[in-house]
Amino acid sequence: MDLAQILPDVWLLSDARNDGRLESAIAALPPGSGFVYRHYHLDPATRRRRFETLRPLLSLGGHLAVLSGNEDEADAWGLVGIYGHADLLGSRADLLRIAPVHDAAEIDHANAFAADAVMLSPVYRTRSHPHVRPLGPERFHALATLAELPVIALGGMTASRAKELGWTRWAAVDGLSA
């Protein structure tokens, strides 16, 4: 898989907080953005039905959608990738595999499991994890150099913060759905 061809710069992550605004958030994304469907708060059948309501909007915008789940689920849902801890991503070369990481050990783990990309967080303070100390720009950049794969900045990110950080690949929950 040629990541340079398919890995978007901007990513929207879903969760319970932004569920009511997902349609408008997806519509506002730059064409060809990435979307990570999490929605852990829903039972499996409801989770799948909710995704199917979003699929036409994702297709319309040419967005790349990955599932927080496993390879079998991604296949069943017809998605191009999965999002999860590096040791649970499997090894299929035909799926984009993105691992969330927070420190050097998790980056090393993602490198060892040959993930395709990582989402390094939290760069800034975030509502998702209000009591977690953010990395800040210096620690983010230091940790990003340890990754042997593309790094997507996550946590308190907005377009202006990505610019300040000097990082083109970034992701958000609230920062793209407010």
Segment 18-33 mean pLDDT: 94
Task: State the residue range of the domain holding 77.
Answer: 3-176
The predicted structure's pLDDT at residue 5: 66
The predicted structure's pLDDT at residue 91: 77
| Phi, psi torsion values for 3, nearest 5 degrees | -60, -35
Q: Strands, E, within the chain: which ranges?
A: 10-13, 34-37, 64-68, 81-83, 96-101, 117-120, 151-154, 170-172
Q: How many domains does the chain have?
A: 1
C-alpha angle with apex 72: 22 to 50, nearest 5 degrees? 20
Q: pLDDT band at residue 3, thresholds of 50, 70 and 90? A: low
- At residue 2, does pLDDT exceed 70? no
The predicted structure's pLDDT at residue 109: 93
Q: pLDDT band at residue 83, thresholds of 50, 70 and 90? A: very high
Q: Report the percentage of the chain scoring pLDDT > 70.
A: 97
Taking the CA of residue 34 as centre, how many other CA atoms within 13 Å lie in the half-sphere pointing to its CB? 30
Q: Report the percentage of the chain scoring pLDDT > 90.
A: 74
Give the CATH number of the domain where residue 124 resides.
3.20.20.70
The predicted structure's pLDDT at residue 78: 93
The predicted structure's pLDDT at residue 100: 95
Question: What is the reported pTM?
Answer: 0.93
Taking only the tens place, the pLDDT of each residue in 88-145 is 887 788 899 999 999 999 999 999 998 999 999 999 988 777 788 999 999 999 999 9
Mean pLDDT computed over every residue of the chain = 92
- At residue 29, does pLDDT exceed 90? yes
